[in-house]
Amino acid sequence: MVIQSPQPVKPAAIVRLLRVRQWTKNLLVFAAIIFANEFGDPLNVQHVIVAFFALCMFSSSVYALNDVLDADQDRAHPTKKGRPIASGALTTGTGLAVSFACLLIGCLLGAFVNPSFLVGLFVYVAIQLLYIFWFKKQPVIDVMVISSGFVIRAALGAVAIAATISGWLLFCTGMLALLLASAKRRHEFNLMGESRGVSRAALIGYSVQSLDAMVVFSASVAAIAYGIYAIESNTAQQFPALILTVPFVVFGILRYLFITFAKGEGGEPESVLLTDWQIIAAVVLFVVAALLAISGVEIPFITPG
C-alpha cells in the first residue's frame, strides 16, 4: 500500500469514491413494496426510501474500503487506474475516513427503519468483506457472491416494510445479477489480455468459453424464472395482469446480451442502465406495467392459475 502525502480534499473525488452511479443497484429495495402492493402506505414508503439511502451508505462504505485495499492493483488496470485512491486524488487516510463515515450514517438510517433491517445491513457488509479479502480471488465464487448482494438488496426491501417476497422473485434477481457479473468478468477478461491476473486474480482461472457460457446460462435461467414468477407466484395468482411485465424483462435481457456480445461492452452495468435508451425504456415500461397489474387492472382472456 502506497503512503501518500497530505493534500486538499477534493469533493468531486469523494463523490467518485462513493460510486454514486452504482447506487442504482440499490433500487432493488423498492421491489417488495411494489409487488407486495404496499406503496399506498405512507409509513412503508418512508421506510423503504430511508432503507434505500441506508443501503447506499453501506455500499459506498464498502466501495471506499475496497478502493483503499486495491489501490496498487487498480493502478495496473486501464480504467480503474483513474479511481480517486489509485490516481492519488485522495489519500488512503481520506478513503478510510469516508468509509467509516458512510458506515456510521448507514447505521443511523438503518436503525430508523427497524432493528431487523439494520441486522440485514450488517449481514450484507459481512459478505462484502469476505468478498474483498477472499471470495473475489476465486473464479465462479466471485460472481456468485456478487449476485448474492443483489438478492440481499431485494430481501432487505421486504424487511424494511415487514412484508414477504416471493422466492421466485429472489431467484430471478440473483440470476439477473449473475448475468451482469458474468458479463463484467467477460469484459475485463478481454480488456486485460495477458496481464489480466495483475488487476484481478480470479480472471486467471476463467476462459473465454467459460465466461460466454455463464453469461448465456444466467440470462436464460433469469428469463425463465421471471416468467414462472409472473404466472405461478402468489402475487401473480392475485394479479394475473403481471404477465404484462414479462416482455419487458425478456427484452431487457436480450438487449443486454446484444450489448455484451455484439458491442463488446458490459464492463460497467450501471453505465449501460443509465445510457442505453432501449434498456431505460424497458425498465420504465416494466415499472408501469407492474404498477398497473398490482393496481388490479384485468385482462379479459387471462385468469389466475
Q: Indicate the domain borders of the chain.
A: 11-165, 167-305
Of the candidates 3, 126, 120, 116, the residue with the CA atom closest to the CA atom of residue 61: 126
In the chain, DSSP finds a helix count (H) and a strand count (E) of 15, 0
Q: Does residue 243 or residue 36 have the better pLDDT?
A: 243
Is the per-residue pLDDT at 1 higher than 50?
A: no
Mean pLDDT of the chain: 88
Of the candidates 151, 61, 134, the residue with the CA atom closest to the CA atom of residue 98: 61
CA distance 18 to 271: 15
Res. 166 pLDDT band, cuts 50 70 90? confident
Res. 301 pLDDT band, cuts 50 70 90? low
Residue owning grid cell 435461467: 221
Question: Which range, of 175-189, 197-211, 273-287, averages the lowest pLDDT?
Answer: 197-211
Rounded mean pLDDT, 82-97: 90
Report the interhelical angle of 42-69 vs 141-160 (nearest 10°). Answer: 150
Residue 193 has what DSSP assignment? G
The pLDDT value recorded for residue 48 is: 96
Identify the CATH class of 11-165.
mainly alpha
CA distance 302 to 151: 30
Entry pTM: 0.84
CA 124 vs CA 111, 120, 242: distances in Å: 15, 6, 30
- Of all residues in the chain, what percent carry a pLDDT higher than 70? 92
Greatest mean pLDDT range, 36-45, 155-164, 182-191: 155-164
Is the per-residue pLDDT at 199 higher than 70?
A: no
Mention every residue, 6+ apart, whose C-beta is less than 8 A from residue 213.
none
Rounded mean pLDDT, 206-226: 94
Is the per-residue pLDDT at 17 higher than 50?
A: yes
Question: Which range, of 11-15, 50-54, 143-147, 198-202, averages the lowest pLDDT?
Answer: 198-202
Amino acid at 100: F
Rounded mean pLDDT, 101-122: 96
CA 7 vs CA 10, 92, 93, 248: distances in Å: 9, 11, 11, 48
Q: What share of the chain is helix, strand, coil (3-state, %, to 5)?
A: 80, 0, 20
CA distance 169 to 233: 9
Rounded mean pLDDT, 105-125: 95
Question: Which range, of 102-106, 133-137, 256-260, averages the lowest pLDDT?
Answer: 133-137
CA distance 111 to 113: 5
Our CA angle for 172, 177, 180, nearest 5°, is 130
The pLDDT value recorded for residue 169 is: 87
Grid cell digits, residue 246: 414479462
Amino acid at 30: F
Of the candidates 150, 148, 156, 149, the residue with the CA atom closest to the CA atom of residue 115: 156
Q: Does residue 149 or residue 38 have the better pLDDT?
A: 149
Greatest mean pLDDT range, 19-28, 65-74, 82-91, 109-118: 109-118
Is the per-residue pLDDT at 161 higher than 80?
A: yes
Is the per-residue pLDDT at 197 higher than 70?
A: no
Grid cell digits, residue 63: 466501495
